[in-house]
Structure 1
Amino acid sequence: MAATMTSVQRRVLTIAALASFVAFLDGTVVNVALPAIRDELGGGLTTQQWVVDAYLITLGALILFAGSVSDAFGRTVVLRIGLIGFGVTSLAAGLAPDPVFLIAARAAQGAAGAFLVPSSLALITEAFDGPVRGRAIGIWTSMTTGAMIAGPLVGGALVDLVSWRLVFVINVIPIAFALWMLRLKHTSDERNTDASIDILAAVMCTLGLGLTVFALIEQPNLGWGDPAVWATFVAGIVLFTMFLLRQRTSRAPILPLDMFRARNFWSGNVATFFIYAALSLNGFVLSVYLQQGAGLPATLAGLASIPMTLLMVALSSRAGALSDRFGPRIFMTIGPLIIAVGCLLLLSVSGDFNYWTQVLPGLLLFGLGLSITVSPLTSAVLGAVDAKRSGTASAVNNAISRVAGLLAIAAIATIVGGSLDLDGFHRAAIVTAALMVLGAAVSFLGIRNQSEPSA
């Protein structure tokens, strides 16, 4: 494949992969550190949920804003802002003296991460075209999704050998390398000098999501009758509805609703919601249960994800190329169904825990299904819109995946029945499988392989 790329394209792909790697890694690496954070800083399941969701709220809400900024003012400048901000906030999280400071640092970290993902993927769509674009997206997918899955391994080793704080501080190394590579990028950005950014819409989106998630997380503790729950839930829904209404009339919408007229764009994003809600739910529950339920140390809990990582790295690029050849529909249908079967195999986990017979078979199917699904899904969504709007399209898709994840994490207490014991683990596996089946159904019914007019 290297022979089909120019040196500039290889450099762009490296920068894009590194920038996305740290954002995706930090979305999952923290999962395996949650028990250690609880032990040192205090707090129960609610605090653990907030450490994860504070990051996902700002990432999911501001990624739309960042996508429009990227299209308007250039990918490189937005990427540089995101890298610097992510490095600073990672250090702040690593030095957190208490849960409140850590949650605030995680929210700021998510805001910085919002500027990384859409800009990095838009760099690829600008630098590559034709069949090589599918392969480039496949490599980007294997790196970024591999980061999501390898996160527990990296986090586990750092937690056991040094401290959970290094889980955040270690981000500085790939960020510094990406910034250095960015200096060597000799291509210029395309900027829209007439563009304007809707700050009010960004505020509505962020507050709407934040208040809704606050209510979902606190509801198991306070109950729906508490004003702190129902009032914030209603306020969040109202604000997010106002945000959507504003997008219909805004001169510069951060969520262009007209993009959803393209069949593959709207159906791909609906599939994304179900698939990534399942991924986030599974990642959180598996990492925490292997430690708190099965009694594994953090390193071994992280090592559990190695089979999925290897499959993703080995197969994602090939899946991207095959998707370009045969169309994404079959891959986006079969992949989630394979993952669903893998989730159901986790029901064999019992009090007499055995990783090799109860967990590994399901994780192998999980990794195979992910390898088949993610790259074709990304290609289908981005291929449905004009390349000039690739930053916004990528931002919408990534925002939906993050929002799906934060809602799944917010609902964990309800899904597992208030406690992540063996019964709760089994309930989470069933819900994860059901979400994957929904993702497969949407892909089969909604995705079309033939070309369609770009939105």
Structure 2
Amino acid sequence: MGARAWGMLIVLCGAIFLEGIDVAMLNVALPTIREDLGMSTGAVSWVMSAYVLAYAGFMLLGGRTADLLGRRRMFLFWLTVFLVFSGLGGFATEGWMLIVARFVTGASAAFMTPAGLAIITTSFPEGPQRNRALLFYAGTAAGGFSLGLVIGGLLTAIDWRLVFFVPVVLAAVILVVASALIPKDGRPERNGQGFDVAGAISVTGSMLLLVYGVVRLEHPAHGWGWTIAVFAGGIALLVAFVAAERRAGTPLVRLGILRSGALVRANLGAMLFAGSFFGFQFVAVFYLQEVRGWSTLETSFALLAVGVDAVLAPTVTPRLVDRFGNLRVILGGMLLAALAYALFLSIDADTSYAAMFPTMLLLGLAFSLAYGPLTITATDGIDEDEQGLAGGLLYTAFQFGAALGLSTVTAVLAGAAGSELDGFRTALLVPLVGVLLGAVVTTFGLRGRARVSVGWALSGGSWRTHRDPPDRA
């Protein structure tokens, strides 16, 4: 890659790092925000849920809009919106102000993130160069999640509002550099056909309702009738969306893209992996701060070992992918995560950090193995004019999984019998089950790949279809 290509990749990595640390820093700051703004635990969970709700709800629309209206244009515009509302969140004096600011910040990330990913997948040729760029990109994103915990602890120890103001500075720098380095978009080929308004409204409404239904699981005391109605509305809009896409001349989402088994498995795996990680992170933070009485700074340093993924993902993971293939590396990451969660089940009121450290280190290894290869698998083989859509599908899966993981562990904590520590142990079963299901999904992909390999061998090594030979897939 030339210097300009490296510069563009680094600035796009800076944007995904910004998104990662923004979420992670806030997670560590939640207990302090709850106390300072006088919010209940249920109310402060909405600070995270509002972001996830908007992120997942608008992601498919954001991904396809990048393809249709220009990836650079969408990236720069929504990065500006992200900058503004992150800053407004820092000025919040009431809980509802912070929740509104986080909702708009999440919506801006939903448009910005798939546009950035699509710029990478369309700027680098498919194959080793694109894979290395994506692994570098994914490693930066994973590093943002893990290092953001430490940075968030340091900032919260000074003033929790810095958690919102620091991303403003970083976003401003990225905006200036990105404007100079990202090449201008060509005019999108739309052949005179209009934007799929019916599809956009129905899929966005469906995603918002489905994620809201998942978020409502956190509050079982509010009654199941309304929650069931929300899910029913989301499913009805999803059916309406499918019907609209079948009739649309230029569909927002070409339904044929979902015939790719690799893409579907990658998205299911991403959803389960993200759900397990965010659910664990939520439980671990509150366990360390409320059961153990650790400060935000101590909690951040306790989770620092997870940040090893920022080093391993762009350096070691590419070599493992070249040797073993994406699916085997993903499966290794899933199994390491399962081991990490299983080890943490033994926590008690005075567990030493030495006993917790293996969980943190294994999670860092798991993230470095799974996150990048999932990104590659979800976008590999997709036409250039649908890369934004593929990115939108992937990040929808990540965010829907995050919402599901957070809501499920919160609901378990709310309904668990016994002591608070017993509730945390019970809630830790959620990420363990989730990541094991992700491993099962990945294994199905390996079985399918094995059948393809046998067919390739029996044909005498002559590959007569459009699929790559098994050692290159």
The TM-score, its normalising length taken from structure 2, stands at 0.88
Aligned-partner Cα distance in 1 for 2:188–2:89:
35
Q: Residues 231 and 267 of structure 1: is their aligned pair in 2 closer, same or farther, counting only changes over 3 Å?
A: closer
**Comparing 237-246 with 347-356, which one deviates more in the overlay?**
237-246
Matched, 1:149 2:146: yes
The DSSP-based 3-state class of the residue aligned with 1:105 is helix
The DSSP-based 3-state class of the residue aligned with 2:389 is helix
Deviations 1:3-23 (A, max 9, x none): xx2112101101211111222
Matched, 1:240 2:238: yes
**Comparing 91-100 with 320-329, which one deviates more in the overlay?**
320-329
CA contact (8 A) 2:59 2:114 kept: yes
Partner of 2:69: 73
Partner of 2:257: 259
Partner of 1:164: 160
Matched, 1:25 2:21: yes
How many residues align? The count is: 448
For 1:428, the aligned partner's letter is A
Aligned-partner Cα distance in 2 for 1:333–1:191:
40
CA offset at residue 76 of structure 1? 1.0
Q: After the TM superposition, which residues 145-294 of structure 1 pair with which residues of structure 2 at under 5 Å, given as runs? A: 145-161=142-158, 163-185=159-181, 187-194=183-190, 196-218=194-216, 221=219, 223=221, 225=223, 227-294=225-292
Partner of 2:457: none
Q: After the TM superposition, which residues 21-60 of structure 1 pair with which residues of structure 2 at under 5 Å, given as runs? A: 21-60=17-56
For 1:446, the aligned partner's letter is G
CA offset at residue 335 of structure 1? 1.1
Deviations 1:288-346 (A, max 9, x none): 22112221101111112211112332344431343244321111111101110001110
Q: Residues 224 and 171 of structure 1: is their aligned pair in 2 closer, same or farther, counting only changes over 3 Å?
A: closer
Deviations 1:231-275 (A, max 9, x none): 334333323343344334333333332112112111111111111
Q: Residues 262 and 103 of structure 1: is their aligned pair in 2 closer, same or farther, counting only changes over 3 Å?
A: same
Identify unmatched segments of 5+ residues in structure 2.
Answer: 454-464, 469-473
Q: Residues 387 and 435 of structure 1: is their aligned pair in 2 closer, same or farther, counting only changes over 3 Å?
A: same
Identify unmatched segments of 5+ residues in structure 1.
Answer: none
Partner of 1:139: 136
CA contact (8 A) 2:17 2:140 kept: yes
Q: After the TM superposition, which residues 347-426 of structure 1 pair with which residues of structure 2 at under 5 Å, given as runs? A: 347-357=345-355, 359-418=356-415, 421-426=420-425
The DSSP-based 3-state class of the residue aligned with 2:111 is coil
Aligned-partner Cα distance in 1 for 2:304–2:223:
44
Partner of 2:456: none
Deviations 1:95-153 (A, max 9, x none): 11111111111100011111221111112112222312211111111111110122221
Aligned-partner Cα distance in 2 for 1:200–1:164:
41
CA offset at residue 212 of structure 1? 3.9
For 2:435, the aligned partner's letter is M
CA offset at residue 207 of structure 1? 3.3
- The CA RMSD measured in Å over matched residues stands at 2.3
* Percentage of identical aligned residues: 28
CA contact (8 A) 1:265 1:381 kept: yes
Aligned-partner Cα distance in 2 for 1:73–1:199:
14
CA offset at residue 429 of structure 1? 2.1
For 1:148, the aligned partner's letter is F
CA offset at residue 169 of structure 1? 1.3
CA contact (8 A) 1:61 1:206 kept: yes
Aligned-partner Cα distance in 2 for 1:293–1:200:
49
CA contact (8 A) 1:57 1:107 kept: yes
Aligned-partner Cα distance in 2 for 1:317–1:255:
35
The TM-score, its normalising length taken from structure 1, stands at 0.92
Aligned-partner Cα distance in 2 for 1:284–1:207:
27
Aligned-partner Cα distance in 2 for 1:452–1:147:
37
Aligned-partner Cα distance in 1 for 2:81–2:106:
10
For 1:135, the aligned partner's letter is R
For 1:89, the aligned partner's letter is F
Aligned-partner Cα distance in 1 for 2:211–2:320:
38
**Comparing 219-228 with 176-185, which one deviates more in the overlay?**
219-228
Q: Residues 268 and 206 of structure 1: is their aligned pair in 2 closer, same or farther, counting only changes over 3 Å?
A: same
